[in-house]
Amino acid sequence: MKALARLAIAAVWLYQGGWCKLVAPNERHLQVVADVPGVGRARARKVLAMVGTVEVALAAWVLSGRAPRTAAAAQTALLGAMNGGGLLFSRRTIPEPANMLTQNLALVALIWSTTRR
């Protein structure tokens, strides 16, 4: 069951990072990043690509099964930073913040469930 959970978690990171940020950058994601102070529209694509690269790396880490608690902490921190930053700097761009938070809470619960022995 843990292997299936890790596969599902990695699929989320691969889709969100690989597809939505690297292959076919999502306009809403670009706008959220552009709204972060100091980034702006001119740098948003580059910053989005860096975030996407981190997300793809997280997918590989999750699939490896190595240091699961550290991986879970890193994923939780990244999700917290992205959700918090999005709500703080780009609230108007996020159509349903409660939906976003609920989905990410479920993802974090799944992430931490893979760390049990």
Task: Retrieve residue 85's tokens.
Answer: 């930053």
Rounded CA-CA distance 64/77 in Å is 19
Q: Where are the domains of the chain?
A: 2-113
Residue 106 neighbours by CB under 8 Å, 6+ apart: none
DSSP 3-state percent helix, strand, coil across the chain (nearest 5): 85, 0, 15
pTM over the 0.85 mark: yes
Task: Retrieve residue 46's tokens.
Answer: 């580059």
Residue-level pLDDT, tens digit, the chain, 117 residues: 899 999 999 999 999 999 999 999 999 999 999 999 999 999 999 999 999 999 999 999 999 999 999 999 999 999 999 999 999 999 999 999 999 999 999 999 999 999 987
